[in-house]
Chain A
Amino acid sequence: MASRDVVHYDTPAQRVLRVLAVIFVIFYLAWTLLPFLIMFVSSFKDLLEAFKLPAVGDWMGIGVFFDFTATTKHYETLFQENNFSRYILNSLVAAGGSAVISVIFGSLAAYSLSRVEFRGKQDLFFWIISTRMAPVVAVMVPLFAIFRSLDLVGTLPGLILAYTTFNLPFAIWILKGFFDNVPYGIEEAQMVDGATRFQAFRSILPLVAPGIGAFIVLCILFAWNDFLFAAIIGSGGAKTLPVATRELVQPQNIQWGAIMAAGVVTTAPMMLLGLVIRKYLVTGLTMGAVKE
């Protein structure tokens, strides 16, 4: 903090750098946010208006982008003709189901892994985490064969189980970090007061509850955004939002308006959830390796 008190004068070179930095950030922001704007606005445009572009090189013609009359017909198509309410439900059940299963089993396993030492623990750990890091397509080859023999392909339970392949190891790995930070002394104190071991475990749950909550949300996010598992294992009976959106692309007829609307429907809830758990996002996405 002390350096704040030092009066600092920019050299001309630094001033130029500063301006360049601002320009860079503005350009980057524009390139990052423009697709969202285009998706959102196009979902309310009639197709003819959505396809309007200024002439090549005519930078002043960008105004055509905002030249349209808003219509909600693409959203109506989604829900009336394409059965999207059903797909939203599928997505919710599949993502929520696997998140809840993962966090319940995961927290028990994470707690015990955090409290006990045994030989081979590191190997067990590596197995758990490598399950999370394995390429989805590679995992899916045998999983598909197994699920087919069990008649799980195209069903929601099958999809929930498939999502658990990446959510459960993730939950164990992250939650163990949380339990590691809870001192054993709290449980000891509970047990001195006459609690059983399991009651002592329950008594420390409130301490990790915010973390558990955030990671239920992250698990939902991963599962909701998944495409490969849903396309192969959920195909048919358990179509989720990304797959349904993809199916709006047909060889002869790409329904761009409906696709943009479906994109908004799929993305908006996750964006809100992402903002809610903002604090845990970096920890979650780096599997606990980097903490903010």
Chain B
Amino acid sequence: MTETLAHAGDADEAHDRFRARKVSSEVEARPLSAKLSEPKTFNPAARKAYYFYLMAPAIALLAFISLYPFFWLIIMAFQKGDMGPVEWVGFKNFADLASDGRFLSGWVLLLKYSAMCLFLQVGIGVLLAIIVNGSRYEKFLVTALLMPMMMAPAVAGLLWMFLYNGTFGWYHWIFQSLGILGSGSILSSAQTSMYAIVLVDVWQWTPLITLIALAGLKRVPRDQMEANMVDGASPARNFVAIVLPNLYPVLLIAVLLRFMDNFRFIDHILVLTGGGPANSTKILPVYLFEVAFKFFDLGRGAAIALVLLVVTIILGKILVGVFDRPTTGGR
């Protein structure tokens, strides 16, 4: 026993001499034998240049479709819309945003929309995961839950437009029969339209939270739960003390991912309401879409896009930080 330990220590030293890179610690292919002689010519690492050549095509392509447009975006943001001759306007596009009511309300609506979506998705998703976990029908249930995620968001929007329809929509009929709604469609009133798009998002993406939470639940260490139970903890106490702390890191990832997706995907909103009625669902990306591709005011659109991008980059930085934490068991 002690011998192996000693060797393991040696192996750590040898590690750097024998490998061009650190391999993941889970897989150990080389026998951890006793000290070996200095390996001077034994498989030297490839020159870095070799790897850079392999990387180059992808990086070049990515630079062309992401870095180059990004600089273009910055330039566009300082120009007047690009119909006609180019005209530099300095910071005017940004200055205009500060006094643009739609831009500001776009942020408010985006946050409101995200908050509602995330609250419902995490609540329902985690509850479902806890119920489904270990059930006899787990496999079937998970497969059934997967289905909405495979649907194109635009098609989902159209389908729900049919279901919400005030004269022949089945879900409208259900809402009406339950006495939640009057005879007007949920989409036609500025008070309820936000709930309509939230429901679609919840319908489509709650299963993702369930799947992520399930993956997290599978990792909850059983021995800790048993130990806790032996000590006389109730199931509720067990849940709070053992399950939740283990679930928390994956849920954080899930929430951040969904939050960013609320910035990313507006397909179902464009299809269902297009931002209306009375701008009640015009969250910022929808407003940006309208400015840039309906009114073709690309200069102003670029300014909004730049602000939106900066915010997502900050969010992304946080997300990647969470990815890298060892507790999440990621890479």
Contacts and interface: CB of A to CB of B under 8 A. Distances in A.
Given A137-B285, A289-B328, A259 B158 contact: yes
Interface string B150-171: 1111110011111100011011
The A contact surface, by secondary structure, is helix
Interface in B141-190: 141, 143-155, 158-163, 167-168, 170-171, 173, 176-177
B19 A291 contact: no
A186 B253 CA distance: 33
Given A136-B265, A289-B328, A290-B330, A31 B203 contact: yes
Contacts of A16: none
Contacts of A172: 58
Contact of B264 (A50, A136, A162, A192): A136
A267 B46 contact: no
B248 to A, nearest CB: 13
Nearest to A125: B320
A138 B153 contact: no
A145 B72 contact: yes
Contacts of B216: 290
Given A113-B55, A141-B292, A286 B257 contact: yes
B64 to A, nearest CB: 8
Contacts of A106: 58
A197 B57 CA distance: 18
A92 interface: no
A139 B69 contact: yes
B1 interface: no
A7 interface: no
Contact of B24 (A21, A42, A137, A180): A180
A260 B257 CA distance: 30
A209 interface: no
Interface stretch (B5-13, B94-102, B307-315): B307-315
Contacts of B48: 116, 118
The B contact surface, by secondary structure, is helix
A134 interface: yes
B135 to A, nearest CB: 8
Contact of B158 (A32, A52, A246, A287): A246
Contacts of A168: 58, 61-62, 65
A177 interface: yes
A143 B146 contact: no
A138 B173 contact: no
Given A53-B173, A112-B54, A197-B50, A145 B150 contact: no
A3 B222 contact: yes
Given A28-B124, A168-B58, A259-B158, A141 B152 contact: no
Nearest to A14: B235
Nearest to B216: A290
Interface residues of B, number: 117
A120 interface: no
Given A56-B173, A183-B29, A286-B212, A135 B320 contact: no
24 contacts: A3-B225, A33-B144, A35-B159, A38-B163, A53-B170, A54-B173, A108-B57, A111-B54, A115-B20, A146-B69, A146-B72, A168-B58, A225-B152, A225-B153, A228-B266, A263-B158, A267-B151, A267-B152, A270-B151, A270-B152, A281-B211, A288-B323, A289-B250, A290-B212
Interface of A: 1-3, 14, 21, 24-25, 28-29, 31-36, 38-39, 42, 50-54, 56-59, 65, 101, 105-106, 108-109, 111-118, 124-131, 133-146, 161-162, 164-165, 168-169, 172, 176-177, 180-186, 188, 191-192, 197, 221, 224-228, 232, 241-243, 245-246, 249, 256, 259-260, 262-263, 266-267, 270-271, 273-275, 278, 281-282, 285-292
Given A169-B66, A285-B149, A290-B253, 16 more contacts: A42-B162, A131-B66, A135-B312, A137-B288, A141-B298, A142-B302, A177-B331, A191-B43, A224-B152, A225-B153, A249-B158, A249-B271, A270-B151, A274-B146, A286-B253, A289-B330
Interface of B: 19-21, 23-24, 26-30, 43, 46, 48, 50-52, 54-55, 57-59, 61-62, 65-70, 72-73, 76, 82, 124, 127-128, 131-132, 141, 143-155, 158-163, 167-168, 170-171, 173, 176-177, 203, 207-208, 211-212, 214-216, 218, 222, 225-226, 229, 235, 250, 253-254, 257, 260, 263-267, 270-271, 285, 288-289, 292-293, 298, 301-302, 304-306, 308-309, 312-313, 315-317, 319-320, 322-323, 328-331
